[in-house]
Amino acid sequence: WMKKGEYSVLVVALFCVNVGDPKTKTIFTDTNKVYKDLIKTFDKSFLMNINAVYIDKDNRKYLRPLIEKSGSKFYVNSFSYAEPNLKGLENKHRRVLPILMERLLLELNVLKKKHTVYEHSWSGGDLVFYDNRIYQHSRINTNPKDKNRKLLRIWLNKNVLA
């Protein structure tokens, strides 16, 4: 994660060193499609004033807008939790904020499942590339006791791809 304007990671590669529990899979979600469905239900002005707070494995927090633009496409950022930017919210949204936030989180869960475009069952040595701006990856069927799973993430920016 970098500061706004510094984010240059275009492609991510995941390499499987060790599968761990074979029931654990990685899913990839098209967040541009999630965005397109979200704006059918929520005002764009509301969505643009929600922050995505991501907490990494070292417990560091990163704040980014929930909705960002890459080229001509909008996408939804991943997050550990979402919080409103109260200064930017319109009064009509502030009055019903708890209801809107609950509806937003429920809708995001439904849309992420709806717009899952790929599900990968890992084998040792597998290498998967994806567009980091549009697709989010996450695990399903995880076993909290599994300490053997090991994936390496490789970030490729526009300088490497040129």
The percentage of residues in the chain with a pLDDT greater than 90, rounded to a whole number, is 67
Residue 140, pLDDT > 60, answer: yes
- Can you give the pLDDT at residue 81? 92
Supply the pLDDT for residue 1: 42
31-41 and 97-114 helices, crossing angle to 10°: 140
Q: What is the mean pLDDT of residues 14-25?
A: 94
- Give the Cα separation of 41 and 33 in Å (integer): 13
How much is the mean pLDDT over the chain?
89
Q: What is the pLDDT of residue 143?
A: 86
Among residues 121, 43, 50, 118, which one has the least CA distance to residue 82?
Answer: 50
pLDDT in tens, 61-105: 989 999 998 888 899 998 889 999 999 999 999 999 999 999 999
The answer, yes or no, to whether residue 9 has pLDDT greater than 80, is: no
**Structure confidence at residue 117 as a pLDDT band (50, 70, 90):** very high
Give the whole-angstrom CA distance, residue 2 versus residue 68: 14
Mean pLDDT of 30-52: 96
What is residue 161's predicted lDDT score, i.e. its pLDDT?
A: 56
The helix/strand/coil state of 21 is: coil
DSSP 8-class letter at 141: S
Amino acid letter, 89: L
Confidence (pTM): 0.84
**pLDDT score for 112:** 93
pLDDT > 70 in the chain, percent? 91
